Amino acid sequence: MELILKEDVQNLGFKDDLVKVKNGYGRNYLIPQGLAMLATPSAKKVLAENLRQKAHKEKEIVAAANETATALKDLQIKISAKVGAAEKLFGSITSIDVADALVKEGHEIDKKYISIKGGTIKRTGPYEAQIRLHRDVVVEFPFEVVSEKK
pLDDT of residue 150: 56
CATH of the domain at 37: 3.40.5.10
Give yes or no: residues 20 and 89 share one domain. Answer: no
Rg (CA), the chain: 20
Kindly state whether residue 133 falls inside one of the protein's structural domains.
yes
Does residue 39 share a domain with residue 9? yes
Distance CA 1, CA 5 (A): 12
Question: Average pLDDT for residues 124-136, to the nearest whole number?
Answer: 89
Residue 64 lies in a domain: no
Q: How many domains does the chain fold into? A: 2
Query: Do 136 and 76 fall into the same domain?
Result: yes
> pTM for the whole thing?
0.69
- DSSP secondary-structure letter at 30? I
* Structure confidence by residue, pLDDT tens digits, 56-80: 788 888 888 899 888 888 888 999 9
Question: Domain range for residue 52?
Answer: 2-58
Residue 87's alpha-carbon distances to 17, 99, 123, in angstroms, are 44, 23, 6
Average pLDDT over residues 127-143: 89
| Residue 142, strand partner residues | 128
Do the domain assignments include residue 14? yes
Positive or negative, the Cα torsion across 68, 69, 73, 79?
positive
E strands present in 18-120? 18-20, 36-38, 77-81, 88-93, 114-116
CATH number at residue 135: 3.10.430.100
Provide the β-strand partners of residue 115.
Answer: 130
Mean pLDDT of 79-93: 87
Q: Which residue, 10, 38, 58, sits at the end of a domain?
A: 58
pLDDT of residue 50: 87
Same domain for 140 and 78: yes
